[in-house]
Each structure stands twice: as structure tokens, then as C-alpha cells.
Amino acid sequence: MQSRFRSDRQLTARMGVTLFLLGLLYVGFVAALVVLLKSWVLVVVVAAGLLGAQYWFSDRVALFAMHGRVVEREEYPALHGVVDRLCAIADMPKPVVAVSEMDMPNAFATGRNADHAVICVTTGLLRRLEPDELEGVLAHELSHVAHKDVAVITVASFLGVIAGLIVRFAFYSQLFGGGRRDQNTAAIFAMVLGVSAAVYAISFLLIRALSRYRELAADRAAALLTGRPSALASALTKVSGDIARIPTKDLRTAQAFNAFYFTPALGRDPGIAQLFSTHPSLEQRLEQLGRISAELGEAAAPEGA
């Protein structure tokens, strides 16, 4: 089903290239583990099982991790009303609506397709935004669902997650049990660690490149759908400013899900983390919205139009 969100051929092309390259990397990674561990059944079964679990249950995992819960219309009528209106305008199925009891202002969308999607906002976001700003944020998240990049980023992140887990397991295994290995086992252990670290690094860079563009694409699609890029720009400025005032130590749990958020949880002093952020800079996003506003003639529109 084609929604009324403006299609983005560059986003589609980037998603295709990213999935292709990650697919090659995935095959190479599995092959390397099979050769090193000498058990193709174990590696393939575990890898396929984890990939399937992430694809089918990513929405539940994300909600659980971010303390989100599904809410009905009776509990949050205004929130449901905005989602209903945007889905009607965009001609797309309504996703499940959820709320996370977090003070950090943010939102995210997850799910394998438009028929199995979840859009979640934090109570901190609901408290801080005006209705038109909230509409802009929700349109941004719905565009991720409509463009199918939520499913792509979920699948794409799988390889990095697995490689990262292997590296972490290897680190703690070496830390607590390194003295009990023979030389041959230690060599295989080191090679598995090296392959996993390389795969993690490559997948990390590929996902960052896709993620930054998809955020700009979502901003653009949301601004054009609502016709009010200034409201989205206002929400971006407000949310980014409030998150920057939260101590970094209080954001560490949330940072694992930065690729899915409306605005990354970087804290007051992002430092080098900004270079590897899943999102373009606030300045880039506001500059794009400013151009769209000028194209739409929004600034010249009469008050209340």
C-alpha cells in the first residue's frame, strides 16, 4: 500500500545498497565463524534464529527496553487524535500507539512493516510540546514507517549487535577465564574476536551513513505532509535543547536506541560522539526545514492560516 508521504528515491537507493553490502558482510561473517569454530550447524542456526527474532519481535523488545506500553484512546485521546489525523492524510494504516514513562523528550517508531508498526512517545515529550509541534514529530516518525526504513534499520543493526555481543563476550571471557585455554584455542579465540570487531566497525559505519540520511528524509516528508516545517523546526530545537541539559550518565541506557529516536540522546557534552551520531546535526536539519519553509511560502502565510 502506497502512502501519501512523498517518496524518496535516494533513500530507497541507499537502503538497497546498505542492505546489499550488509548482506555480503553477513555472509562473510557467518562463513568466517563456520571456518573458525568448525560447526556450521551451530553458527547458522544461532544466527538465523537471532535474525528472525529481531525481525519479528523488534517492536516488543524496543518497547520493553524503553519502558513503553500500549495506550488506548480513552487514556490519551489527544495523542490518538493526532495519529488518526496524520494517518488519514497520509492514507496509511494506523500503527499501535504507545507511551514511555520517561522524562527525556523523545519519540521513536519500530516494527517490521506498516501493518505491524508501533509509534511511541515519552511523557516528557508530551509535556513539553505544543499540539502543532507534536504533530510534526509524529509525522516524522510515521514517515519512517511509510518509507520502510524502520524495518531496514532494524535488520541492518542486527549484524552489528551480534558482532558487538561476541566482542563483549570475548572480553569478559578473556578477563575471567583466559588462563584456562591451550595455545590453539587461544588463537581461534583471537581470530573470532578480530573478525567480530572488524564486522562491527564496518556495519557501524554503514548504518550511520544510512541513518543520517533517513532522518533528513523523514524531516522533509513530515514537513511536506503537514505543510508546517516551522512547527517541526520548533520541536527539534526544543527537544534537542532539553536533552542537552540532561547529564550524560542519565542517558546511557537510552543511547543504545539512538538510531530509532527522533533526536539522539547525546547529553550536554557529546564531544566525539557527535562525529559518529546516527543523526545529522541540528543545524543541518534546521537548515533543510528553513529551505522547505521558504519553498512553501510558510513565512509569508497570514496569521492563523
141 noted as active-site residue: yes
Q: 144 among the known binding-site residues?
A: yes
Q: How many angstroms from the chain centroid is the CA of residue 234?
A: 21
> Which run of H or of E encompasses 120?
strand 117-122
Starting at the edge strand found earlier in the chain, the sheet holding 117-122 runs: 68-70, 96-100, 117-122, 107-111
Q: 140 among the known binding-site residues?
A: yes
Given the residues 74, 130, 135, 141, select the one marked as catalytic.
141
> In this structure, how many other beta carbons lie within 10 angstroms of the beta carbon of residue 6?
14
Three-class secondary structure assignment of 18-39: HHHHHHHHHHHHHHHHHHHHCC
Binding site listing: 140, 144, 215
Catalytic residue ranges: 141
Binding site listing for Zn(2+): 140, 144, 215
